[in-house]
Amino acid sequence: MTLSMKYSFKNDYSEMAHPEILTVLSDVGNEQFEGYGLDEHSITAAMLIRKALKAPYADIHFIAGGTHANLVMISSALRPHEAVIAPKSGHIFVHETGAIEATGHKICVRDGLNGKLTVGDIESVVSEHGDDEHMVKPKLVYISLSTETGTVYTKAELAAISFYCRNNGLYLYIDGARLGAAINSPACDLKYSDLPNLADAFFIGGTKNGALFGEAIVICNEQLKVDFRYLLKQRGGLLAKTAAIGVQFKTLFAGGLYDELAKHSIAMAKKLADGIRALGYEFLCPVETNLILPVFPNEIVDRLREHYGFYDWQRFEDKTAVRLLTSWATPEDKVDCFLADLKE
C-alpha cells in the first residue's frame, strides 16, 4: 500500500507564505513607514500593478482579505435601494456569511453555467425587475475570475458581459481572489491589461497566491473612485499597517513571482486531473485552473478522506463531487501519492 500521511487539498492558502514574502517582511520589520497606504512600499506596489494592467489611471487600494474587499467595494458602489446580480455559486452569495446583505443590499442570483454568468442570465434579472419601484434595482454584476468551480471567462464572454452592463447602466465588478490562476490558465485568453477596459472595478488576490495575506482593489470607473478612502475607512479596511500588504505586492509584481506561483498551482492541478481522468473518473466542471471537481464513488471518497483533506462539493445518490485545490506550494510528490492511493 502507498497510503501517505494526511495532506490537505482543501484550499490554496494553507501554506503561510512564499519564502521571498517572509524574507522581505522580516527585512522591513524595524523600518519606519507612513500609515494607511501612504508608505513607499505601497506606492511602489501600486505603480507596478498599474504597469502590469497598462492602466496608469487606475486607483489601487490594499486591503486584508477578499470578503472585506467585496463588502467595501460593492457597498460603496450601490445606493440603498440597489442590488447585485451574481451566480448562484458566487462567493458573496454562499461563503461570506451574508456580508453584502448585512449592508442592506439584496443579491439576485442565477444558476449560470459552470459557475459563470451569461448575458442572458443578467438580462433576465434586469427584465424581471424592470422599472418597478416596489422592487430592488439591479445595479452591479458580480463575477469571479476564476469562478468558484475553477472555470474561467474567455475574452469574448467577458467583453459581451461588459458591453451589456455599460449599455444598461450596470457596474461590472470582478472578484479576483484567484486572478493569477485565471489569467495564467491555458483556457483563458484574457490578459491583465484587458481587465481595466472591461470592468469598472476588481481585485487582485494575494492571499491565495503566495502572500501572507492581502488583496489589491483596482478601481477604473471614475464614479467609483470618489471618496473611496472615506468608505474604506468607515468599513474598517484602511489599515494603519497597509505597508505590510504593499511590500508583499511589490515583491509579487516586481519580477514575475505572482505569475510564477500561479503557473505552478495550475501545473499541479493539471497533473492531478490528468491522473484522475486516466483512471476513468469524470469531472463536474471543465478543468481550467487550480480548482478541480472530480466525481468519485462514495466509498472511495471515504477512503481518501482518511489520508487527505478536501471538501465535498456536491453529493449524488452514490457518488460525490469533491473539491481539490493545488497551491503555489503543492509538492509534486503529494500529487503522485494521491494518484497512487486513488489507484489502490
pTM greater than the 0.85 cutoff: yes
What is the reported pLDDT for 4? 47
- Distance between alpha carbon 48 and the CA centroid of its chain, in Å? 20
What backbone torsions phi and psi does residue 318 show, to the nearest 5 degrees?
A: -125, 10
Give per-residue burial for 23-49: e unless 16+ CB within 10 Å, then b. Answer: ebbeebeeeebeebbebebbbbbbebb
- Contact 149/314 with Cβ under 8 angstroms? no
- Contact 68/274 with Cβ under 8 angstroms? no
Identity of the amino acid at 276: I
What angle in degrees, to the nearest 10, is found between the helix axes of 19-27 and 243-254? 130
The cell for 75 is 457597498
Q: Which of 250, 208, 248 is nearest to 21 (CA)?
A: 248
CA distance 24 to 28: 6
- Distance between alpha carbon 112 and the CA centroid of its chain, in Å? 17
What is the reported pLDDT for 2? 47
What is the reported pLDDT for 1? 40
What is the reported pLDDT for 6? 86
CA distance 170 to 168: 6
What is the reported pLDDT for 5? 61
What backbone torsions phi and psi does residue 93 show, to the nearest 5 degrees?
A: -90, -30
The pLDDT profile of the chain, 344 residues, written as one tens digit per residue, is 444 468 999 999 999 999 999 999 999 999 999 999 999 999 999 999 999 999 999 999 999 999 999 999 999 999 999 999 999 999 999 999 999 999 999 999 999 999 999 999 999 999 999 999 999 999 999 999 999 999 999 999 999 999 999 999 999 999 999 999 999 999 999 999 999 999 999 999 999 999 999 999 999 999 999 999 999 999 999 999 999 999 999 999 999 999 999 999 999 999 999 999 999 999 999 999 999 999 999 999 999 999 999 999 999 999 999 999 999 999 999 999 999 999 98
